[in-house]
Amino acid sequence: PFGRNPLDRDHPLESLLHYGPMTRSVGDAALMQNVMSGAHPEDMCSLRDEMVIPGQLDGIKGWKIALSMDLGFFEVAPEVRERTLQAAETFRALGCTVEEVALDWSYDIHDPYLQYWEGMAATTLAQYLPEWRDRMDPYMAGIIENGAGHTAATQYRCNLVRGQMYEALAPILERYDVMICPALSVPAVKAEHDLADPDFEINGKPTEAYLGWNMCYPFNMVSQCPVMCVPNGFCPETGVPIGLQIAGRTFDDLSVFRAASAFEAAQPPLYNKQQNRPAL
């Protein structure tokens, strides 16, 4: 969550961008997170209270878990929906109660998030456009240019939307120990995916190609809530893992790690066969 892991000096007071571990197991993520977290003199927002994730995590029997299939507004592909429902059954087998909830978020969060990101990109990267534009992704260059035209009011509106998002999420997290949802609304996008593709669709419905399939970015908007993404089976077409997000109450990292660890232990080993091992 915000402030747990210090950012670099180029992003002072930044609350949407975060650095976290990317590992092959929950245990490795805990080890790496324990090293990454803590106060740092280059980040005034870095928290002084240490959160140490123990090597042995307690079980989650008796927990109540909320399930949001679409976060209120995403179009979710059938394969992702099926794997998410199977994840819910895994948690039930672990002794948890899993209930689907209606989260009152909408596509209205898209523009404030994108405008904030554009403003940050313009502030930190516009100086490189004259020299590097011809080697930049055209979509990224457009983001930088768009951001240069935003007003302070446009940027601050993002904070108001973030507050509204938490007003909708907080009551759910007070009633449940954690909330689960897909990480992406599709099993995968192609490596050559065009972020500006006007013909991109999910379930036959036109979908914005940059963020319309990415169910992670809303949690950047409520960044005081810790979130972990864990593998939830494989995409039958590509063989890449389908992700499941586990979101917790503000600064309650430990509950997220406990849920992720229990879920991982109940799954078949991710790399149990040679053909499942990613090439290094």
Neighbours of 41 (CB within 10 A): 8
Please tell me the total number of residues recorded for the chain in this structure: 280
- Within 10 angstroms of residue 137's Cβ, the number of other Cβ atoms is 10
Which residue from 54, 17, 16, 49 is spatially nearest to 33, judged by alpha carbons?
54
Which tens digits make up the pLDDT trace of 236-245?
778 888 999 9
- At 97-134, the pLDDT tens digits run 999 999 999 999 999 999 999 999 999 999 999 999 99
User: Quick one: 13 exposed, middle or buried, by C-beta within 10 A (0-12, 13-18, 19+)?
Assistant: exposed
What is the rounded average pLDDT for all residues in the chain?
Answer: 94
Q: Encoding tokens for residue 216?
A: 């992670």
Question: What single letter denotes the amino acid at residue 202?
Answer: I
Read off the pLDDT band of 50 (50, 70, 90): confident
Q: What is the pLDDT of residue 240?
A: 85
DSSP 8-state secondary structure symbol assigned to residue 135: G
- Residue 213 one-letter amino acid: W
Q: What SS3 class is residue 87?
A: helix
Retrieve residue 13's tokens.
């007071």
215 near 75, Cβ under 8 Å? no
Domains and CATH numbers, the chain: 26-268 (3.90.1300.10)
pLDDT tens digits along 147-180:
999 999 999 999 999 999 999 999 999 999 999 9
The residue with tokens 């904070």 is 159
pLDDT attached to residue 279: 62
